[in-house]
Amino acid sequence: RRIAVLASGRGSNLQALLDAIADGRLDADIVGVFSDKPAAPVLQRVPDALRWSRDARSYADKADYERELGDALAACAPDWIVCAGYMRILGDALVERFRGRMLNIHPSLLPKYRGLKTHARALEAGDAEHGASVHFVTPELDAGAVIAQARIPVLPGDDPESLARRVLEREHPLLVAVLQWAVSGRLNERGTTVAVDGH
C-alpha cells in the first residue's frame, strides 16, 4: 500500500511512519513527501527522489499551487494521503480530488480546538484532558470524521510547550495505528462517520 505525506515542518510524525515501516509494524511504503516549504526539515527524512516541494507563497493564485500539488500527488498513485503537520488550509478542489483517502493528524481532542494554538487554548480553558485526533479531511477545516484519538491528562504546571511535547509522543503511535488500519482496508469514511471494520 502506498502512502503520501503532506508536511510543512519538522516531520516527527513522518519519521514515526518510516520507523514503523522499517520494523514491520506498518505494512506500507512512503511514496512521496510533499511540502509547501522547500526548506522544511521534513524533506530531509526521505531520499531526494521522494521529495516534492514548492513555495506556496510564491503563487499569486493558491488554486495553481494546489493543482500542481494535486497532479504530483496523483502521479505517485497513493492509496492514502496523510497530512502530518501540513500547515496550510487545503482548498475544496484538492480535498474533493482525494476525498475518502486523505487523513490529518490534529493536536487536540476534536471537535475541540480546530485550527491553531490548540495547546494554549486547552490550558486557557482549564481542560483536565488534552490530546490528538486523526480524522478524514473534508473541505471544512479539522471537521471531518474522527477515526481515533489519544488522550493525556493536563498536569499542574503544564505550559503549551510541555503539553505539546507529551501530546506529540502520543501522536506517533496513534498515527501508525490508524495508518495500519487504513492500509489493511479496515477504514471507511461513511459521510460524517467512520467505520473501522474488523477482519
Rounded to a whole number of angstroms, the minimum distance from the CB of residue 59 to ligand GRF is 22
Residue 35, marked binder: no
Calpha distance 98→67 (Å, rounded): 12
Is 106 an active-site residue?
A: yes
Closest residue by Cα to residue 151 from 136, 137, 163: 163
Catalytic residue chosen out of the listed positions 106, 119, 135, 172: 106
Residue number, 94 or 118, with CB nearest to ligand GRF: 118
Q: Which residue has 506529540 as its cell numbers?
A: 168
Say if residue 147 carries a ligand binding annotation. no
Which residues bind to ligand GRF, rule: CB under 6 A? 7, 9-13, 42, 84-85, 105-107, 132, 168, 171
12 is an annotated ligand-binding site residue: yes
Q: Is 104 annotated as a binding residue?
A: yes
Question: In the complex, what is the shortest distance from the CB of residue 87 to ligand GRF, in angstroms, rounded to a whole number?
Answer: 7
Which residue, 139 or 188, is less far from ligand GRF as judged by CB? Answer: 139
**Which CB, 152 or 188, lies closer to ligand GRF?**
152
Which one, 14 or 198, has the nearer CB to ligand GRF? 14
Count, residues in the chain: 199
For ligand GRF, the nearest residue by Cβ is 85
Binding residue numbers for (6R)-10-formyltetrahydrofolate: 62, 87-90, 104
What are the residue numbers of the active site? Answer: 106
Binding residue numbers: 11-13, 62, 87-90, 104
